[in-house]
Amino acid sequence: MNLKAATVHSLSALMVLVVSFAPGTVSQEVVAKGRAQNAATTFEIVEQAIGGKIFSVSRMVVRARPEQVWQVLTDYDNASLVFPNLRKCQVVQDKGATKIVCHEVQPSGVPGTFKYVLEIKEIAPRMLEWHRVKGDFRDVDGLWKLEPSDGGRCTLVTYAAYVNGGLFMPQPLIRRQFRIDIPGVMAALKLKTETSVAQIARRVDATKSN
């Protein structure tokens, strides 16, 4: 059995346990709250039906302007240094506001990695939308949405993702994995953006003092 087959087998076995002990399946919305490691923010994850698909949706406020958050999200070549489960992120085709980007991810607690190529549409500096072009999984859809708040000094960040893993990776299992991994994704974006903004502010202050 190769690594990918072993991964699917492990996920399928885990799914049996999840279904056996789950109190029931919610068709519209389920709210799960968890505190990400090394983060002072509680991330709310809402599983919401959109267009016939169940998206995992999370929101948070980042103490930075939308364009500053945008700079972190669109720095594809360094994304694997920011997000904990992302092993590779490489732009293979640049069409201006549309990018074709290769990803390699490793979900928490899952052996092996998954590879897929996304078409990402940029609406600067407010929205990133993507869908799978090829690779692992049947469907990969999602978005980042950035809305100014607190007079433009902060940003309300929305992350929504949907993955269809096919027959051997049922949706309840995938949504459960999202509830595990999304807090880390959100915390990583918040930490990277706010740290970068603070560093810039310190450099500006140092320049003024000189």
Q: pLDDT of 82-131, one tens digit each?
A: 999 999 999 999 999 999 999 999 999 888 999 999 999 999 999 999 99
On the question of pLDDT at 59 being above 50, the answer is: yes
With respect to residue 122, please indicate whether it lies within any of the assigned structural domains: yes
Closest to 168 measured CA to CA, from 15, 1, 3: 15
Q: What is the pLDDT of residue 205?
A: 63
With respect to residue 22, please indicate whether it lies within any of the assigned structural domains: no
- What does the block give as tokens for 153? 């000094």
The percentage of the chain sitting over the pLDDT mark of 90, rounded to a whole number, equals 59
Q: What is the pLDDT of residue 11?
A: 45
With respect to residue 200, please indicate whether it lies within any of the assigned structural domains: yes
With respect to residue 149, please indicate whether it lies within any of the assigned structural domains: yes
With respect to residue 23, please indicate whether it lies within any of the assigned structural domains: no
On the question of pLDDT at 28 being above 70, the answer is: no
Per DSSP, 119 falls in state E
- What does the block give as tokens for 132? 């799978």
Q: What is the pLDDT of residue 77?
A: 94
With respect to residue 90, please indicate whether it lies within any of the assigned structural domains: yes
Are 82 and 192 spatial neighbours (Cβ–Cβ below 8 Å)? yes
Q: What is the pLDDT of residue 208?
A: 65
C-alpha dihedral sign at 40, 65, 29, 134 = negative
Q: At what angle do helices 3-21 and 171-209 cross, to 10 degrees?
A: 100
Q: What is the CATH number of the domain that holds 66?
A: 3.30.530.20
Q: What is the pLDDT of residue 210?
A: 62
With respect to residue 136, please indicate whether it lies within any of the assigned structural domains: yes
CA distances from 87 to 17, 104, 131, 156, 178 (A): 28, 5, 19, 26, 17
Q: Provide mean pLDDT across the span 135-144.
A: 96
On the question of pLDDT at 9 being above 70, the answer is: no
What is the extent of the structural domain holding 39? 3-17+28-209
Q: How many domains does the chain have?
A: 1
**Lowest mean pLDDT, pick from 21-35, 93-107, 154-168:** 21-35
Q: What is the pLDDT of residue 114?
A: 95
